[in-house]
Structure 1
Amino acid sequence: MKYAEEAGRIWRTYVPERGQAVTVQGELIRAVEKLRDEAGRNGNVNWDDGFERLVLFLRRTLDEPLVFDASASREIAGDLAVISNLEVPADDGPFDRLTDRLVEWCRAHPDPVAHSHDPYLHR
């Protein structure tokens, strides 16, 4: 991970103790870490619609051509595909790369962006 310190700052600033973040910045890092935790700690045995919703949120939010070039967008899509492959829980590589990308997204959006609460997300 290239931007571990900055990712930590985003976490401390925007992620609440419980529940969804009120900013997109916070929800991005919360989503990646929820997915990392499920893969690493549980081997994805608890994978459900909530985790699918987190992947979809990441896919939609990080699909931003003004922030990421075609190569970065392909890398993001590939990492999300690896994370979604429940046959083999991913190692830290895809999660670390996604964390670096979300830091880059946050740099492109330095002011807090409101996140709409997803009433169907219980993760």
Structure 2
Amino acid sequence: MRYFEEAKKIWQNYVPRSGQSDTVEGELLRAVEKLRYEAQSNGNGNWDEGFKMFCDYLLETLANDKAFSAETQEELVANIKRLLDYDYPYLEDDLYDRIADRIVEWSKFHKGPIKREKNLEQYR
């Protein structure tokens, strides 16, 4: 992971012990780490709409953002779509780390933290 220390700071400052983050970058990082844990620890055995919502949030927020080149956007879409293939959990760290790096880049580009409203439908 290229931006481990920066991601760690986002996690420590903006991801609560439970529940959703009040910031976009905190929620993005929470989403990718929830997806990582579910795949690596549970083999996506608990996969449900909540995990799909995490992928959708990542796609909606990152995939078409001006912070990234077209090539990086395509890579993000491919990586997140791979996570959506929950019948075949992605178990290696590289994909999750790449997404986390993009979250840090997104935060730097937008000069975060960026406040967000919680999604009342997200129960994970």
TM-score, normalized by the shorter chain, greater than 0.5: yes
**3-state DSSP class of the match of 1:67?**
coil
Could you state the TM-score of these two structures normalised by the residue count of structure 2? 0.95
Aligned ranges 1:14-53 → 2 under 5 Å: 14-53=14-53
Distance 2:87 2:71 in 1: 26
Identify the residue that residue 102 of structure 2 maps to in structure 1.
101
Distance 1:8 1:102 in 2: 12
Distance 2:105 2:6 in 1: 10
Question: What's the C-alpha RMSD, in Å, of the aligned pairs?
Answer: 1.0
Q: Residues 43-80 of structure 1, C-alpha deviation per residue, up to 9 Å, x if partnerless?
A: 00100000010000000000244200011001100100
Distance 1:71 1:24 in 2: 23
Q: How many residues align?
A: 123
Aligned ranges 1:1-123 → 2 under 5 Å: 1-90=1-90, 91-123=92-124
Distance 1:53 1:87 in 2: 16
Distance 1:36 1:64 in 2: 22
The CA deviation at 1:81 is 1.2
* AA aligned opposite 2:63: D
**3-state DSSP class of the match of 1:66?**
coil
Identity fraction in percent: 42
Q: Which runs of at least 4 in structure 1 moved beyond 3 Å after TM superposition?
A: none
Distance 1:27 1:72 in 2: 20
Q: In the alignment, is the contact (CA less than 8 A) between 1:82 and 1:94 conserved in 2?
A: no
